[in-house]
């Protein structure tokens, strides 16, 4: 069965799953994350790299993940492990490859070349595998725009804050330290028409802190966030829900549009105000978020 990535889809939550933990891999599907990200990089000790690669390869081939987006975070190419990771996971079938420590557009181009080579070698249509770039350094942040535009395969750019704050000679705090990086990445993503994905919040028992961070990135405009514990997923999705007032307005907007279309009128208006394109886009996005939250459990194939 061929897996092909989808460029635009809901990506509120991207759940990290250590690639060397079979229990967590088999359970990954059940927690409601929009995307599952099997990690071959930082959560896997150097001595476990082969194990993780082997496990993730077999998990991709055997397990049924339903409608989830499947992402694998590989090791960076300069480590000498990245290409081996790609050789293992691309033939097994993966939607998106997450490239860590992306400092320049060249990193993306180099990785894409390897992906294309492996796709061709295994008879997979070249271009079937998507990519996302994680930016984790000051250099990367300053090159965010070039990175976001470096490949058509990119579905989004993400911030990796832990390495980034170390590079800046600061530590994670209230978010002030990340404001510049987040803004750069967000604008880079939007200029390329792709998703902007925020970093993890590692203090899993601090729900209040997590919610504050979600509220901040939502205001900034991020699509979603990486999570390291399944318990964060429900909280995240709930926090990203539109307010009742905004939702009502969004439905009213869509109704007005439908009415105008029915009348054959090109111009719709609500409460005397003309509805322009951005208003419609925003309304559609809010409704999509709401419907995703309230959706009935997906009926599984089988």
For another protein (CB under 8 A), the number of binding residues is 15
Q: How far is the CB of 234 from another protein (least distance, A)?
A: 8
Q: How far is the CB of 30 from another protein (least distance, A)?
A: 5
Q: Per this entry, what is the length of the chain?
A: 302
> Greatest CA separation found in the chain?
67
Q: How far is the CB of 296 from another protein (least distance, A)?
A: 4
Q: How far is the CB of 230 from another protein (least distance, A)?
A: 4
* CA separation, residue 38 to residues 27, 83, 120, 231 (Å): 12, 16, 23, 17
Measured from the Cβ of residue 129, the count of other Cβ atoms closer than 10 Å reads 25
With contacts defined by CB under 8 A, name the span among 70-78, 161-169, 213-221, 225-233 that binds another protein.
225-233
With contacts defined by CB under 8 A, name the span among 120-128, 173-181, 226-234, 254-262 that binds another protein.
226-234
In the shown chain, the binding pattern of residues 257 to 296 toward another protein, with x for contact by CB under 8 A and - for none, equals: ---------------------------------------x
Q: Does 31 bind another protein (CB under 8 A)?
A: yes
Q: How far is the CB of 71 from another protein (least distance, A)?
A: 19
Name which position in 1, 2, 30, 245 contacts another protein (CB under 8 A). 30
Q: Strand 273-274 and strand 69-73: pairing?
A: unpaired
Start-to-end CA distance of the chain, whole Å, equals 14
> Which residue reads 């390291």 in tokens?
228
With contacts defined by CB under 8 A, name the span among 20-28, 173-181, 258-266, 284-292 that binds another protein.
20-28
Q: Does 231 bind another protein (CB under 8 A)?
A: yes
**CA–CA gap between residue 92 and residue 193 (Å, rounded):** 28
Q: What are phi and psi of 216, to 5 degrees?
A: -65, -50
| Residue placing its CB nearer to another protein in the complex, 22 or 193 | 22
With contacts defined by CB under 8 A, name the span among 27-35, 114-122, 175-183, 274-282 that binds another protein.
27-35
In the shown chain, the binding pattern of residues 33 to 72 toward another protein, with x for contact by CB under 8 A and - for none, equals: ------------------------------x---------
Q: How far is the CB of 28 from another protein (least distance, A)?
A: 11
**CA–CA gap between residue 135 and residue 183 (Å, rounded):** 13
| Residue placing its CB nearer to another protein in the complex, 29 or 218 | 29
Could you tell me the two tokens for 244? Answer: 């009742």
Task: Give the dihedral sign, CA 84/85/91/95.
Answer: negative
Could you tell me the two tokens for 178? Answer: 């990340």
**CA–CA gap between residue 242 and residue 238 (Å, rounded):** 9
The beta-strand segments (E) located in the chain are 13-18, 35-39, 69-73, 96-99, 130-135, 154-159, 195-198, 224-227, 269-270, 273-274
Contact at 8 Å (CB) between 172 and 165?
A: yes
Q: Does 229 bind another protein (CB under 8 A)?
A: yes
82 class by beta-carbon count within 10 Å (0-12 exposed, 13-18 middle, 19+ buried): buried
Could you tell me the two tokens for 265? Answer: 């009128």
Name which position in 100, 130, 156, 230 contacts another protein (CB under 8 A). 230
| Residue placing its CB nearer to another protein in the complex, 171 or 205 | 205
- List residues binding another protein (CB under 8 A): 23, 26-27, 30-31, 63, 205, 229-231, 296-297, 299-300, 302
């Amino acid at each position: 069965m061929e897996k092909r990535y989808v460029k635009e889809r809901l990506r509120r939550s991207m759940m990290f799953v250590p690639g060397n933990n079979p229990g967590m891999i088999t359970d990954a599907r059940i927690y409601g994350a929009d995307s599952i990200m099997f990690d071959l990089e930082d959560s896997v000790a150097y001595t476990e790299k082969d194990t993780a690669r082997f496990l993730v390869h077999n998990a991709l081939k055997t397990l049924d993940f339903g409608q989830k987006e499947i992402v694998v975070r590989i090791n960076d190419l300069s480590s000498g492990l990245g290409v081996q990771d790609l050789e293992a996971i691309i033939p097994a079938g993966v939607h998106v490859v997450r490239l860590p420590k992306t400092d320049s557009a060249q990193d993306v181009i180099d990785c894409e070349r390897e992906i294309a080579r492996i796709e061709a070698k295994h008879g997979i249509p070249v271009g079937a595998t998507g990519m996302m770039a994680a930016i984790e350094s000051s250099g990367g942040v300053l090159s965010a725009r070039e990175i976001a535009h470096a490949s058509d395969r990119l579905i989004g750019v993400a911030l990796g804050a832990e390495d980034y704050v170390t590079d800046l000679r600061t530590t994670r705090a209230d978010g002030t330290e990340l404001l510049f990086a987040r803004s750069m990445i967000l604008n880079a993503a939007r200029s390329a028409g792709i998703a902007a994905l925020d970093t993890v919040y590692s203090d899993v028992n601090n729900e209040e802190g997590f919610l504050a961070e979600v509220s901040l990135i939502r205001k900034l405009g991020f699509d979603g966030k990486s999570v390291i514990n399944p318990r964060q997923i429900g909280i995240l999705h709930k926090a990203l829900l539109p307010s009742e007032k905004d939702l009502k307005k969004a439905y009213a907007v869509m109704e007005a549009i439908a009415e105008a279309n029915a009348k054959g009128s090109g111009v719709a208006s609500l409460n005397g105000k003309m509805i322009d394109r951005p208003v419609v886009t925003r309304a559609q996005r809010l409704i999509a978020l709401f419907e995703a939250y309230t959706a009935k459990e997906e009926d599984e194939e089988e």
